[in-house]
A and B are shown apart, each in its own frame.
Chain A
Amino acid sequence: MRLELRINGSVRSLEVEPLKRLLDVLREDLILTGTKEGCGEGECGACAVLLDGQLVNSCLVAVCQAAGASVVTIEGLSSSALTPLQRSFVECGGAQCGICTPGMIVAGQCFLDSGAAATDEAVREAIAGNLCRCTGYTKIVESIQHAARETR
């Protein structure tokens, strides 16, 4: 089927199979490889993107369901310089092997945008759907809290 997606602000028209995963469309058709595949079954959150402003796992979104929608990937969070949250990940050591990092940053940005108080519990709940195989959660939580202090 032919469909249009607004990817990181620009409209793209694509000819795709309707149940192709949004994740594969991003990575293979649009060469936006910042979004990672971890488990491929909605458990790990490495493929998290914003679909019409909502955090979702792109491995469980059939691309037909995103037709006409706006998608923001890790590449779309900033046009040039790092965002305050990305800088915090660098400064606080929030990234180790890096596979979970794009999903963590998209989920973390979603949390920061919600305006909720960045308590340990709230931050951990916000990234509950994002798994880090290096188990670097302490630094990831610190990175998000650091960004909250810097930007609010």
Chain B
Amino acid sequence: MRHFTFERAKSVDEAVKGGAQPEAAFLAGGTSLVDLMKLEVLTPLRIVDVSRLDLQKIEARTGGLVLGALATNTDVALHPEVRRRLPALAEALLSGASPQLRNAATVGGNLLQRTRCAYFRDLATLCNKRTPRSGCDALEGWTRMHAILGGSNQCIAAHPSDMCVALAAFDARVKVRGPQGEREIALTDFHLLPEQHPDREFALSPGELVISVFVPTTAAAARSRYVKVRDRASYAFALVSCAAGLELSGGTSGRIIREARVALGGVGTKPWRSIEAERALAGQPPTKDSFRKAAELLLAGAQPRRDNAFKVELAKRTMVRALTLAAEGA
């Protein structure tokens, strides 16, 4: 590990000041940063420990939930109001990592977690995300875990988060504070597509610290599910996952989708919300046929590579499954 300076921020303002310095990194739960520093994938010169800031609170307000940036994944997943008002988020969190990691990992850290692309994590290979314009060994490499949506000729690394998929589907907004003050960023704008600059992953300026996430809890959120398909029954990153929510109207015989929410994980270079699929579902009956059509639409632009063509059909089936479970209700 390289040398660095260490400071523990006593206030958000102090953290922002430290974080705005060159080559600074915020440390919260440490489950990503400490790991990547040991691999020397990340070599910050200045560590700003934000873990003792008073940002742990989870608040259930009328109309939505406020998740403090330092609330742990376990705390959010087990919160009774999260389970009741946004079950897909609780399910997404519980499907991620292991108990040990969920106890340490935070909301803010999960938003900022880096890809698990094996080439990004291996200094012996080329990676445009790690070293801009150096090349990408994934493009012609082993691509089983890589993205089929949102890639570029520079990068096809999949976004690893489960939590962010659920938050993307339900219009979450991220509150950040930086040297210029506070602002809100829609979760779907928070992560950037790789395009020609895969090293730029977040819509954040230097020093900006995640304070909290607000997620509106609508009727579709209350009727939401998260389905994750992976190589093992537990403790693995998604091959494909889907957060889905439905607001239905009408009686049991003639139900109609008033509003749909869909986002996919494991297939995109960022959490993959599809407004197009949601619009296609609105006004339709909640049947397998409607779900399949929306899934075909969402995956129409998929660009699979040598080892991950299976993800196209798997994503469609996973989406149909998540929507079916959502339609069935809790």
Contact = CB atoms under 8 A, between A and B. Distances in A.
Interface in A1-58: 1, 18-19, 21, 40-42, 45, 48, 51, 54-57
Nearest to A103: B100
B134 interface: no
A41 B1 CA distance: 14
A40 B103 contact: no
B103 A55 contact: yes
Interface size class of A (residues with CB under 8 A): 20 to 34
A125 B74 CA distance: 14
B49 A64 contact: yes
Nearest to B6: A18
Contacts of A19: 1, 4, 6, 34, 37, 47
Nearest to B51: A65
A101 to B, nearest CB: 16
A56 B235 contact: no
Contacts of A64: 6, 8, 49
B48 to A, nearest CB: 12
A129 interface: yes
Contacts of B37: 19
Interface in B9-63: 27, 30-31, 34-35, 37-39, 47, 49, 51
Contacts of B35: 41-42, 60
Given A42-B35, A60-B34, A61-B30, A128 B98 contact: yes
Interface residues of B, number: 26
Contacts of A77: none
Contact of A62 (B27, B97, B233): B27
Interface in B82-126: 97-101, 103-104
B234 interface: yes
Contacts of A60: 30-31, 34-35, 101, 104
Contacts of A146: none
B1 to A, nearest CB: 7
A125 to B, nearest CB: 6
B34 A21 contact: yes
Nearest to B121: A41
A126 interface: yes
Contact of A65 (B30, B98, B101, B235): B30
A126 B8 CA distance: 32
B6 A1 contact: yes
26 contacts: A18-B49, A19-B37, A40-B38, A41-B35, A42-B31, A45-B100, A51-B103, A54-B104, A55-B100, A55-B103, A56-B104, A57-B100, A57-B101, A60-B30, A61-B30, A61-B34, A62-B30, A62-B34, A64-B49, A65-B30, A65-B49, A65-B51, A124-B234, A125-B99, A129-B97, A129-B100
A-B pairs, 7 with minimum CB distance: A129-B98, A128-B234, A54-B103, A18-B6, A128-B235, A129-B100, A57-B100
